[in-house]
Every structure is written in C-alpha cells, then in structure tokens.
Amino acid sequence: MWTINVMNNSDFPTTERPGTGELPHGRPPQTEFDTGLDYPRLGSVTFRRGTLTDNQEVLFEEHWPRLGRVLDDTPVDIDSWFGRSGHPTIVEIGSGTGTSTAAMAPCEADTNIIAVELYKPGLAKLLGAVVRGDISNIRMIRGDGVEVLARMFGEESLDGVRIFFPDPWPKARHHKRRIIQSGTLNLIASRLKPGGVVHVATDHAGYAEWIDELVEVEPMLEYKGWPWPQAPVLTDRQVITKFEGKGLDKDHIIREYLWTKK
C-alpha cells in the first residue's frame, strides 16, 4: 500500500467565480507519493485569459456547473454526477480539444466518460460538442491527470484509463515530466477494477521507446500489446486527433499499448 500527502490548496488562492472552471496561476498543488516509484513532476502552470470566444464563454457559464469540475479533494460521486448507476466509467487523461472523446462517446453510450484536461479552451471545445451533440455520457475535470486520479477517485473505482498522444517532452532534461512513469502506472492500476483497461497511444518514437521499457514494470497490470480484440472497452479511437494528424503528416508511426488490471 502507499499513502499520499497533499499540499494545501489554500496556498493557491483564486479570485475567480466558482463554477467557471478556473484554476490558480503558478505552481499547482502536487501530491507527494511515498512509494519509491517515479511520477511526473509538474512545472509552473500559467493560463492565458480571454482565449474563449463569446459563445464559448456563454456555454461555459451555463453548462460547466453541471458537466464540469475543477481539481479538488472531494471524491467524485460517479453515479450522482451522471445520474445513473451500474455503468462502467473511463477516465481520459489529456483530452485536448476532445475531438476523439466526443466521437467515441456515442459509440459507447453505456459507458461514463470523464475527460481530464488542464487547458480551458480545449475543455470549452469539448463542452460545446457535448452540448450541440446532446451527448449525455461525458463529464469533464480541469486539472492535472495524476492529481485527479490520486485525489478524486478511490481505489478500484474505474473500468478504464485512456492517455492518447501525451506530451512527449522530447528533451532529455524534461523526461521526468512524461506522464507514463512507473508511479503513474501503479496509481492507474490502483484506481482500476480487476479487468479494467489502460489504453495509451503515441506517435513519438522516443516516447514509444520509453513506454516499451515500462510495459512490464507494474505487477498489477498485464500487458496485452496491440491490438487486443477481446478488450472489454472500446479501443477504436474513431477519428484522428489533432496531434495524431500532425504526426501522420510527418509520417510518424502510431504506437498503441493496452494493459488489463489483474
């Protein structure tokens, strides 16, 4: 077992109106793990203001209180938030602009999808797609994915975790910021129910080599490779994401990874 010590949120005050999806500027609170494993380190996070269109601002004001949350220490009550019980739940870390998220959701209408993203304009685009498409099975959390998993979800509470095209942090001195680390895989595994699925995709050759070294590092996870036709959750990403498209334009090879919780 491992324990976590969470830095005090009161050290990072914000004057924004509650419910508008704002986060404090500067270095965010960060969980301290005592597992001896490697976890991505957060740098300072700054957010540009005024980057939403007027229409996005209106949609955010109206719909975010129902569809979105900001990182905090209150555990997510999944059944209450989605207004239904007994449905599998998947967390997507780093949903970006949500293109793939919104496209996949109607194909898995019985699954609860929680998109986690730091960048507010990306969440605004996804929120707009959810509202316009009347997509009922997507909710959103603004925050760092590792922090959200550690602080807002209990052990064995999720059926899947997705990480599509995470920032590769290509410079060697920044590799410690890569989200795929031994500690992150351990944290994900602890949040998955037995049989739950981890799905990672990257188009960065250096990151793929990094992940290749970690596929067997977490004893609670069984590496299934790719493809895995018997996966109990949808693994067809339906559409090409923004970052995937950029990679394909450069003739990058897409690598996908699947694990299941033992």
Per the domain annotation, does 65 fall within a domain?
A: yes
Per the domain annotation, does 144 fall within a domain?
A: yes
What CA–CA distance (Å, rounded) separates 142 from 151?
Answer: 13
Per the domain annotation, does 36 fall within a domain?
A: no
* SS3 category, 69: strand
Per the domain annotation, does 23 fall within a domain?
A: no
Q: Decide: residue 73, CB within 10 A, 0-12 exposed, 13-18 middle, 19+ buried.
A: exposed
What tokens does 199 get? Answer: 């799905």
What CA–CA distance (Å, rounded) separates 158 from 78?
Answer: 10
Per the domain annotation, does 176 fall within a domain?
A: yes
Torsion angle defined by CA atoms of residues 81, 134, 63 and 98, in that order, rounded to the nearest 10 degrees = 90
- Residues with active-site annotation: 167
Q: Is 244 known as a binding-site position?
A: yes
Per the domain annotation, does 149 fall within a domain?
A: yes
Domain CATH number, residue 125: 3.40.50.150
What CA–CA distance (Å, rounded) separates 205 from 99?
Answer: 23
Per DSSP (E only), the strands in the chain are: 4-6, 31-33, 68-70, 89-93, 112-117, 138-142, 158-164, 192-202, 221-223, 255-261
Q: Is 92 known as a binding-site position?
A: yes
Q: Is 32 known as a binding-site position?
A: no
Per the domain annotation, does 154 fall within a domain?
A: yes
Q: Which domain holds residue 105?
A: 54-261
What CA–CA distance (Å, rounded) separates 71 from 67?
Answer: 14
Number of domains in the chain: 1
What tokens does 245 get? Answer: 């498209």
Asked if residues 118 and 143 have their Cβ atoms less than 8 Å apart, the reply is: yes
> What is the tens place of the pLDDT at every residue in 60-78?
999 999 999 999 999 999 9
Per the domain annotation, does 74 fall within a domain?
A: yes
What CA–CA distance (Å, rounded) separates 68 from 18?
Answer: 11
Q: pLDDT tens digits, the chain, 262 residues: what are they?
A: 555 555 544 444 333 444 478 876 655 668 889 999 999 987 665 555 548 888 899 999 999 999 999 999 999 999 999 999 999 999 999 999 999 999 999 999 999 999 999 999 999 999 999 999 999 999 999 999 999 999 999 999 999 999 999 999 999 999 999 999 999 999 999 999 999 999 999 999 999 999 999 999 999 999 999 999 999 999 988 766 555 555 555 567 899 999 999 9
Q: Is 167 known as a binding-site position?
A: yes
Place of tokens 């003739």: 251
Q: Is 144 known as a binding-site position?
A: yes
